[in-house]
Structure 1
Amino acid sequence: MNIGDAHCLFAELNAERGAFDAEAEAWLCALTAYEVARRLVEEDDPQAAHVSAKLEAGISNFGSLEERLRRVDIVSWDERKLPAYYVPAGGPKLCTPAVICISREDETGTMLLGRLLPVIAGRGMAALVVAYDDVSDSRLGQLEILSSCLDYLSARPEVDASRLGIYGEGLSAALATDSALADRRVAAAVCDGGLWNWARTQASISWMTRTSHVLDDQSASVLRSRLARRLKCPILIVAGGRSIVSIPEAIKLESNCTAARIDLKLLMPRLGPISDGEFDNFAACDEDIFAWLEHKLAHASAS
């Protein structure tokens, strides 16, 4: 928190000098420091609310710089509104790629935005950040509201509608898979590759048959590959750490897809030991994810 506060002070000093790029960089550094603090503090610790307030203040200060961040409402066909954050691509660029980012089930859209802003800003990529709860609680339907998000991005004059991606983590990874299956406008997806539905199907079979039902390797391989083959865009699966995807199943799926020449890549976050467990290096993982999205969406444009 002290490091974050020091960056905030540096940002304010640069604001007085009119050095807005340096100010923006300092706010982004502060957001990363506060995100580390948020992950280290216990939920019932009195400092937790203090850290969250600092994160929100940092986001607000960054967003006030030359409209680098906007709060928007995604309006569906029946006039329902989904609150979201829109992060334009850095600089006055036209025909840039854009990504829908859906938070984990236990995080707000603001929390995800605070973590991703340092990764997205300056990358030449626009982003629309929404909360899992807002998407999953929509009376309109999850896929319909995500389709409205794609409509919003497609209508932006600076966005290339042929280079739209989707990114979800936690249960949102399954939402991202379903969206990529339902809407062919998705040109790259960071998702679960259908493994969440696969796990639920396996559990349902075991429950109905009252047995520990396990498919033979060949049958399981065929079913896993069939799920991934339905996705017509490049896929990145994040497994391990806080992901809902198990590493063994993800490795099997990647192997099956490699043999079938399906464009699927597996990413496993780097974990470091702390006093009471492990700490995932979220900054390095997010950098890898968005570097992959940037590469695949550039290729989508070339195609």
Structure 2
Amino acid sequence: MEYRAGPHARGDLASTRRDAAAFLDNLTVQNSRGAKGRQNWIAIWTKAGDSHCLLADLKIENGMFGEATEAWLCALTAFEVARRLVDESDAQSGDVLAKVEAGVQRFVSALQQKMERVEIACCDQTGFLAHYLPADRPDSFCPAVICISDEEETGAMLLGRLLPVVIGRGMSVLVVSREDLSNHSRSQSESLSNCLDFLSTQPDVDAARIGVYGDGLSAALATDFAASDRRVAAAVCDGGLWKWTRTVAFLEWMTRAPDAVDQDVVSTRRSQLVRRIRCPVLVVAGRGIVSVSHAIQLQADCMAARIDLELVMPRVSRAPEEEVENFVTSDDCVFGWLDQKLARNSTSQPSTSDQQI
């Protein structure tokens, strides 16, 4: 029987995200008809996003701003699914990206909360721009998260993906572009500390509950930042695996031996950087630079050393020549973990087993 998971015109965010998650979980089945079938699904999800945009405009005209906001979030979710399906060399790629970024801009006008493009000031008289979304509970101190985009994404693209996840959580979010950090004259960790300085001065932010989330390759930046700035209260990062992998590869290259490093030394080196992090850590294995096998070994090392490190493995489906991550379940898991770790007076204990999300 042919699987038919896809977008439905129910209009509520929960249903749209369930449809998206079910579709991505069954992507191998969806693509069984090859490139033509994939193009059809790109068109279906793009059309669904366009329909939600039209619905949002209608709700705004009728003064129904809450329902308009939900329709925009549905549109952003649908466009993100389409973006995951489009090959970078495909002519449609630019069109879908434009829809995501335009969706974010149009969403701002419908948003009852205040979302700003803010400048992060630095000590050397320079600065860079970031997207700032204050928490939707202005009457109390709320946690905040600094989100760093992958090197192949703009800050607006990451914001478009995360808005449906963070709205309603009572959490402030500062989205920073990896490219902006890389182009800045000072160190990236120092620039991220400036981001934390900015959040600490916001009247709705609890300065003791600020976390960091590095998406994709930026997971390594989040590790360095959490290790260098002890104000970070929770970190979604690579746990130092990128630096460890490079070190081992360099030693093996220098010695021309595949097993040049003693296993006890390997264990110590593997957890060396994460030992400097004084906050809870979540490593998303299989995403970007973090291999599953190395992440499992790191978790075992951290458990032995009583380091609060948890590991999750996202669900992926195989499409022609690539794997596509179920971003819906992954993002829900990541921000659910951040909710837990940044909760006021949190007494939660680290997990002792791997999770698949």
Of residues 167, 170, 187 in structure 1, which corresponds to 2:216?
170
SS of 2:93 mapped into structure 1 = helix
1:161 partner letter: A
Residues 187 and 300, structure 1, Cα contact 8 Å, conserved in 2: no
Residues 202 and 213, structure 1, Cα contact 8 Å, conserved in 2: no
- Measured in 2, the distance between the counterparts of 1:230 and 1:56 equals 37
Q: Equivalences for 1:122-271 in 2 at 5 Å? A: 122-240=168-286, 242-271=287-316
Of residues 102, 125, 128 in structure 2, which corresponds to 1:57?
102
- Segments of structure 2 that go 5 or more residues without pairing to the other structure are 1-45, 349-357
Q: Equivalences for 1:108-127 in 2 at 5 Å? A: 108-127=154-173
Residues 237 and 267, structure 1, Cα contact 8 Å, conserved in 2: yes
Moved more, 122-131 or 216-225: 216-225
Length-normalised TM-score, structure 2: 0.81
Residues 162 and 300, structure 1, Cα contact 8 Å, conserved in 2: no
- Segments of structure 1 that go 5 or more residues without pairing to the other structure are none
Pairwise CA distance, 1:47: 1.6
SS of 2:186 mapped into structure 1 = coil
Residues 122 and 194, structure 2, Cα contact 8 Å, conserved in 1: yes
**Is structure 2 residue 79 aligned with structure 1 residue 39?**
no
Residues 103 and 168, structure 1, Cα contact 8 Å, conserved in 2: yes
Residues 62 and 68, structure 1, Cα contact 8 Å, conserved in 2: no
Pairwise CA distance, 1:143: 1.4
2:75 partner letter: A
Pairwise CA distance, 1:67: 4.3
Q: 1:267 to 1:299 in 2, by over 3 A?
A: farther
Match of 1:88 in 2: 134
Match of 1:75 in 2: 121
- Measured in 2, the distance between the counterparts of 1:246 and 1:72 equals 35
Match of 1:12 in 2: 57
Pairwise CA distance, 1:51: 1.1
Length-normalised TM-score, structure 1: 0.95
Pairwise CA distance, 1:283: 1.0
1:85 partner letter: H
1:87 partner letter: L
2:177 partner letter: A
- Measured in 2, the distance between the counterparts of 1:225 and 1:131 equals 28
1:279 partner letter: V
Pairwise CA distance, 1:59: 0.5
SS of 1:129 mapped into structure 2 = strand
- Measured in 2, the distance between the counterparts of 1:119 and 1:291 equals 9
Pairwise CA distance, 1:301: 6.3
SS of 1:161 mapped into structure 2 = strand
Moved more, 152-161 or 85-94: 85-94
- Measured in 2, the distance between the counterparts of 1:30 and 1:85 equals 19
Pairwise CA distance, 1:266: 0.5
- Measured in 2, the distance between the counterparts of 1:276 and 1:191 equals 27
**Is structure 2 residue 343 aligned with structure 1 residue 298?**
yes
Q: 1:275 to 1:140 in 2, by over 3 A?
A: closer
How much identity, in percent, do the aligned residues show?
A: 56
Pairwise CA distance, 1:62: 1.5
Residues 251 and 261, structure 2, Cα contact 8 Å, conserved in 1: no
2:104 partner letter: I
SS of 2:271 mapped into structure 1 = helix
Residues 102 and 172, structure 1, Cα contact 8 Å, conserved in 2: yes
Pairwise CA distance, 1:48: 1.5
- RMSD of aligned residue pairs (Cα, Å): 1.7
